Amino acid sequence: MHKGKSRGGKRGAGKAGAPAPDLVDAPYRKNELVTADIIGLTHDGEGVGRADGFTLFIQGALPGERVRAKVMKVKKQYGYARLEEILEASPSRIDVSCGIYKECGGCQLQHFDYDPQLEWKRQHVVDNLVRIGKLRVAGEEERGGAGKAEDDAEHGNRAGGTDAIIVHPTIGMDEPWRYRNKAAVPVGRGAEGEGLQAGFYARGSHRIIDMDDCLIQHELNDEVIRVVKRIGRELEVSPYDEETGRGVLRHVMARTGVVTGEIMVVLVTNSRKLPSADRWVERIREEMPAVKSIVQNVNERKTNVIFGDETRVLWGSEVIYDELDGIRFAISARSFYQVNPLQTVKLYRKAVEYAGLTGTEDVIDAYCGIGTISLFLARKAGRVYGVEIVPEAIEDAARNAELNGIKNATFEAGPAEVVIPRWREEGVTADIIVVDPPRKGCDQALLETILAMEPKRVVYVSCNPSTLARDLRVLEDGGYRTVEVTPVDMFPWTTHVECCSLLVRKDN
């Protein structure tokens, strides 16, 4: 804390008469205007500001800027402030195109020029590898401080620079707009009592910002949202209320096959009964002839989770089709399918490259989803085994293999950390294991199984650099070496970054 700014307010006593940490005076008070220099960005895209040595997190500020901000919340060692004025702008600052950007929580970086944004995402990955994984990265300065020797001894950190991990530049997009093939938006009533609204949540809240046009969504997804809102208002459908748990329509999801042009509309409801269901189908088909599937998902639980367990087709097919790199995929309402098809091809090609396939290898694909990576791998592998916890996704994966005439891929439903150890007991071996876990990373039991199976290579696809770094540390301590990492920008204008990493056994 910057002692020279103490205001002399109330203090509490802790042990031995020491001030209680949460009651120590803050250097600034709420609503105070301060001038801050921005020295970095957090993983959430907030500017990290310094004001008289005190740290303030300021949404909308960029590194290199000097800003005036209003203090909104203060803790002992840091606080939060609202950007009021940019005194010295960063050369990376650009004008924002979206009319609801300041309110909407969907994007965080539309004020940040795209090339510097890609550089920041690479550095974000590097920082996590070094700080959390205690890993050496090529081109980064040696970590200093008294704890370095202890870290090196504990983790067997690499000596010299020859074995340092290569982190490549982030693979970006030529046109980083209109890339999302799926929109899933909450439905509710306006704050001032307006009728049915649908859009993204405001930053840090569950207040819905009504949206008719989103610049990162495929145009057909935007049209679905507009049409469903209009029909819902005409039919006087009651929107869901999170506080009371009442209302019918909870979420609207639109999926678009970018190559095929096929559209799926999913209405997530608070009960099995959808009032005027026939009329819903008639009106959607009338306004959007490209729609091939209209689906209802029932979620009667009082939860923020979008989908419930029951899904039924109101009209048309239970799936729509799309293509990635010449492979055709059937996509159902609840199955996982990457939202940025152009970047997905780049990501999965990198995974296949890292796998180093020659046509004879046995490959396990953990968290296989609807078989997207599995089928990319199967074109060059001897045998692929895919596992995924969502049964519907596994049904889609088997259907996708058949659809493409791929006969060397086998799929099973269940937790990867349960199924793969059983496979090992049954005699299944793996030359290569590919993992693409959710944001929480790999289950510890799965990591232990990977180490026990001793594949020659591990290809780790990650959507969360912090859990990636954590898991790489475990694999490194178990006998693997991380060779290189390639960040891929799957979600332009947001803080998210995907990575593909290659690990090899140290004794190879």
What CATH number does residue 35 fall under?
Answer: 2.40.50.140
**Which of 88, 116, 146 is the endpoint of a domain?**
88
Residue 32 lies in a domain: yes
Segment 219-245 shows an average pLDDT of 95
Show which residues are catalytic. Answer: 463
> Concatenated DSSP letters for 130-195?
HHTT---BTTSPPP-STTHHHHHHHHTPPPSSTTPBEEPPPB--SS-SS-BSEEEEEEEE-TTS-S
pLDDT band at 341 (very low <50, low <70, confident <90, very high): very high
356 belongs to a structural domain: no
The total number of structural domains in the chain stands at 2
Confidence band of 193 (pLDDT split at 50, 70, 90):
low
| Residue span of the structural domain in which 25 resides | 3-88
Whether 381 is covered by a domain: the verdict is no
Distance CA 426, CA 188 (A): 50
Owner of token pair 């920041």: 120
Do residues 126 and 62 touch, judged by C-beta distance below 8 A? no
Q: How far apart are CA 65 and CA 70, in angstroms?
A: 16
Helix then strand then coil, % of the chain, to nearest 5? 25, 30, 45
For residue 146, pLDDT over 80 is answered with no
Asked if the structure places residue 287 within a domain, the reply is yes
Nearest residue to 323 (alpha-carbon basis) of 387, 405, 404 = 404
Residue 24 vs residue 442, higher pLDDT: 442
pLDDT of 504 strictly over 70: yes
> Residue 319 maps to which CATH number?
2.40.50.1070
**CB of 4 within 8 A of CB of 26?**
no
Which strands make up the sheet holding 409-413, listed edge to edge?
166-167, 480-488, 498-505, 457-462, 432-435, 362-366, 383-388, 409-413
Read off the pLDDT of residues 427-458 as tens digits, 9 standing for 90 and up: 999 999 999 999 999 999 999 999 999 999 99
Residue where one domain finishes, among candidates 88, 118, 139: 88
Distance CA 163, CA 168 (A): 15
- Predicted confidence at residue 380, as pLDDT, reads 97
Residue 43 lies in a domain: yes
As given in the structure block, the two tokens for residue 56 are: 């303030």
For position 76, what pLDDT does the model report?
A: 87
Looking at the fold, whether 84 and 188 belong to one and the same domain comes out as: no
Read off the pLDDT of residues 34-53 as tens digits, 9 standing for 90 and up.
999 999 999 999 999 999 99
Element (H, E) at 122: helix 114-131
Q: Are 181 and 341 in contact (CB under 8 A)?
A: yes
End-to-end CA distance of the chain, in Å?
Answer: 51
75 CB neighbour count, 10 Å cutoff: 13
Residue-level pLDDT at 336: 84
What pTM does this model have? 0.88
pLDDT at 292 over 60: yes
pLDDT at 6: 36
Domain boundary at 67, 88, 109, which? 88
Judge whether 336 and 393 are in contact, CB under 8 Å: yes
| 315: in domain | yes
Question: Domain check: are 198 and 306 in the same one?
Answer: yes
User: Do residues 443 and 435 make contact, with C-beta atoms less than 8 angstroms apart?
Assistant: no
Q: What is the pLDDT at residue 482?
A: 98
pLDDT for residue 153: 42
Q: Flag whether pLDDT at 143 surpasses 50.
A: no
